[in-house]
Amino acid sequence: MTTVVAVCRSFRDRALARFSHSFPCLSDPAQRSSLGLKVTLVMLHLIIVGILFLFDGNLIEKTKKEPWYTALYLSLFSATLVQYFITSSSSPGYVVDAMRAVNEANVMYQKSSMASKQPASSKNGSLIVTVEGSQSYDQGSNPSSWTKLVMDMYPPGTPIRSCSCSYCNAEQPPRAKHCHDCDKCVLQFDHHCVWLGTCIGRDNHCKFWWYIFEETALCLWTSVLYISFLTANISRSWWKDAIMILLLIVLSISILFLLLLLLFHSYLVLTNQTTYELVRRRRISYLRQVPERVFPFSKGVCRNLYNFCCARSSIYSLEALPSPEELEEKASPYTCLDVLSCRCC
């Protein structure tokens, strides 16, 4: 009997090992939970839209007469799901990736400078690291380590221990934070989204905003179609009405949550903040002394919006902490002259 049990356990272990090797995304409990949430979300979309087309005969007739209307709705439905998968598979921008790129550029510069004994040009591996609020940092003209680059973004005298991650053993630029779910430090960390299964950070915050916008528009349009069906077909079939009312309640709750989330993240975009900075402001060392109504990283509404939408092509554009003079200027109240000069923009 003991031999049989040992053989069964050995067979089970080999089967689990082969399964984990074939499907690595399912071997981790956290990834399995994330995959389950993704499947649930997609199935919920398909069920809500499928039942609408299954029950609403008037919508089918309208599709035959005005196919453009249904085509627009299905296009929004498809675009929302596509945007969901794009956002969930996108990288938020990790500190280790930026650090590796900077160090590799240093090595390439040193090799090229030793070979030519001349300043290396951008074709020989020079890397420009843009530090917003300061001058550009050229790895080719002034080779230095990642630590030196990060420390230059903090006020003079900041100890290296205060900006080092004890988990990744890497120096964090301002606005970076270690995510325990991803087990990596994220540039401009906003939050970890369980429904997407990834962090929201510097490189995918714009994609996340567009996903919320499309999801909100889809839920609003679907609710209008549900209300139209109930208005025209109420009391014809009680079980259909019960299902449609139940799904309409789900849609109403979703719309309320999505609208609040969309407005909240729009406010963060216009003020150049993150959820983590807003919620944990008093726990972040470099924000404790900043007044509540002062947004230290804001460059004006128009420039914040432009940087959020159009200037996210490189993970090497980092933001240095503003100087005391800049903070004092941001804290000063607006005057009529400031309004005329569009200081808020």
d(CA 306, CA 156): 30
Within 10 angstroms of residue 334's Cβ, the number of other Cβ atoms is 9
- Retrieve residue 301's tokens: 């509404």
Residue 302: active-site member: no
Is the separation of the CB atoms in 201 and 189 below 8 Å? yes
Point out which residues pair with 177 in neighbouring strands.
Answer: 186
State the SS3 of the chain.
CHHHHHHHHHHHHHHHHHHHHHCHHHHCHHHHHHHHHHHHHHHHHHHHHHHHHHHCHHHHHHHHHCHHHHHHHHHHHHHHHHHHHHHHCCCCCEHHHHHHHHHHHHHHHHHHHHHHCCCCCHHHCCCEECEECCCCEECCCCCCCHHHHHHCCCCCCCCHHHHECCCCCCECCCCCEEECCCCEEECCCCEEECCCCEEECCCCHHHHHHHHHHHHHHHHHHHHHHHHHHHHHCCCCHHHHHHHHHHHHHHHHHHHHHHHHHHHHHHHHHHCCCHHHHHCHHHCHHHCCCCCCCCCCCCCHHHHHHHHHHCCCCCCCEECCCCHHHHHHHHCCCCHHHHHCCCCC
How large is the angle between the packed helices 205-233 and 29-55, nearest 10 degrees? 30
Out of 193, 199, 206, 219, the active site residue is 193
Q: Which residues are catalytic?
A: 193
